Amino acid sequence: MNIGESFRFAWRGVNANRVRSALTMLGVLIGVAAVIVLVGVGNGASQSVTQTLSSLGTNTLTVTPGTATSSGLLGLRRSTETPAVGTGGTLIRPETLTAADAAALSTPGAAPDVTAVAPVVSPAGVVASYSDTSHQLGSMTGSTAGYLGIANDTVSRGRAYTATDVAAHARVVLVGPTAAKALAGGDGSALLGQEIRLNGVTFTVIGILTEKGSVGARDQDDRMIAPLSSVQDHLAGYGDLTSIAIQAADADAVGAAQAQVEAILDARHRTGAASRDFTVTSSASMLSAANSITGTLTVMLGAIAAISLLVGGIGVMNIMLVTVTERTREIGVRKAIGADRTEIIMQFLIEAILLAVFGGLAGVLLGVGLCQIPVAGFRAEVDPASVGIAFGFALAVGLFFGIYPATRAASLRPIEALRYE
């Protein structure tokens, strides 16, 4: 008897017990689909974060007040008092960054690897209004003209503000797509050239910013950018800076630029590595931190998926054991009319493989299909390795748990198998 014949017998076996076959396949299907979807979600999340962070530019540095312990990963300021001890006695300084710090960094020759410096003020809770609509902004940024280049921001409609606008304290503003839609409706482009009020002060919209997407639940496009001078005049006051944005010559110079910035600010603040009252964050370091977090996430989701695959595998094993036990008499009959051990094992093995392959394929289709549905602002990315591993595991489970009980039953003497109750 050839393999084609075994295959036909196996196919008949699968077909003759449709419900049982379907249930077996369901176990494999769910396991395989779960692995693909969960690994895909982890992957998608990590890619989405990476993409967002690299849109910030790979060669930028951000200086924020406070130490690493008092500032979060993304440089958000916390209200922790961290006194710094100066060299000339006990000198308690508040954690501040001033316009003078920014000016010192941009002094020609002071930091050779720094190509651009932009002081940033971000007043919180700014409310924008246009005709009858008002909207609280996710973020309001006041900075110099160089900021847009450092932050990797571009204008999709209208124009960016210039150094002249900054010098002239011009009340002009660039609006992010989300904020523009919230104020003017539609795609927001109606806002271009219109006058809006920020906390009651009139500004003219001269440009719409290019869409940046969101980081998780945080929408990066719900924002406005205006010249530093006019934001300080009307919204923030002439106090401390929220941060200083710095651009290094290129991605390789980021490390050197960071050292230079730290040296200059340490000198000005009379601090050292241990007593620093500011933090320099590079987008590269954020990226690697974010990657390690999403990597952990992917591993965790993968582990959960692996468990579901294991449970599916145990289901297959259970059904295979029951199937073969139930069909021991059939095995006896087949042996009585001339099947040898190999032919019996072959038939049950192929049956198990058929179930595993069809269940696995259906699981791959379902998993890949589910990954196409966008969830929470990002799309799950199918990892080909996860597809391969899940499918391979399903196949291995089918093979092992098909072969094991079949071998046992096929090794019985025919009369034992025939009399089996």
Q: Which residues bind other proteins (CB under 8 A)?
A: 1-2, 5, 9, 12, 16-17, 329-330, 332-343, 413-415, 418
DSSP state of 77: B
CB of 353 to other proteins, least distance (A): 20
Q: Which is nearer to other proteins, 18 or 186 (CB)?
A: 18
CB of 215 to other proteins, least distance (A): 58
329: left (phi over 0), alpha (psi -120 to 50) or beta: alpha
Q: Which is nearer to other proteins, 4 or 89 (CB)?
A: 4
Q: Which is nearer to other proteins, 227 or 332 (CB)?
A: 332
CB of 8 to other proteins, least distance (A): 8
Q: Which is nearer to other proteins, 13 or 176 (CB)?
A: 13
CB of 347 to other proteins, least distance (A): 11
* Residue matched to tokens 């500004």: 203
Classify strands 223-227 and 201-209 as parallel, antiparallel or unpaired: unpaired
CB of 328 to other proteins, least distance (A): 12
Q: Which is nearer to other proteins, 252 or 340 (CB)?
A: 340
On the CB side of 184, how many CA atoms lie within 13 Å of its CA? Answer: 20
CB of 35 to other proteins, least distance (A): 34
Q: Which is nearer to other proteins, 228 or 331 (CB)?
A: 331
Q: Which is nearer to other proteins, 13 or 57 (CB)?
A: 13
Whole-number Å distance between alpha carbons of 3 and 396: 20
On the CB side of 126, how many CA atoms lie within 13 Å of its CA? Answer: 29
CB of 21 to other proteins, least distance (A): 12
For residue 70, report the phi and psi dihedrals to the nearest 5 degrees.
-100, -5
- From first CA to last CA, the distance across the chain in angstroms is 29
Measured CA distances, 242 to 65, 78, 265, 306, 366 (Å):
7, 12, 15, 45, 48
What share of residues in the chain are helix, strand, coil (percent, to 5)?
55, 15, 30
CB of 24 to other proteins, least distance (A): 17
Q: Which is nearer to other proteins, 18 or 217 (CB)?
A: 18
Is 406 in contact with 355 (CB distance < 8 Å)? Answer: no
Measured CA distances, 9 to 1, 2, 4, 84, 350 (Å):
11, 11, 9, 82, 9
Report CA torsion sign: 94, 102, 254, 259.
negative
Residues in the chain: 421
Cβ-proximal residues to 214 (8 Å cutoff; 6+ apart), any chain: 52, 220, 221, 377
* Residue matched to tokens 């006019």: 230
CB of 318 to other proteins, least distance (A): 21
Q: Which is nearer to other proteins, 88 or 338 (CB)?
A: 338
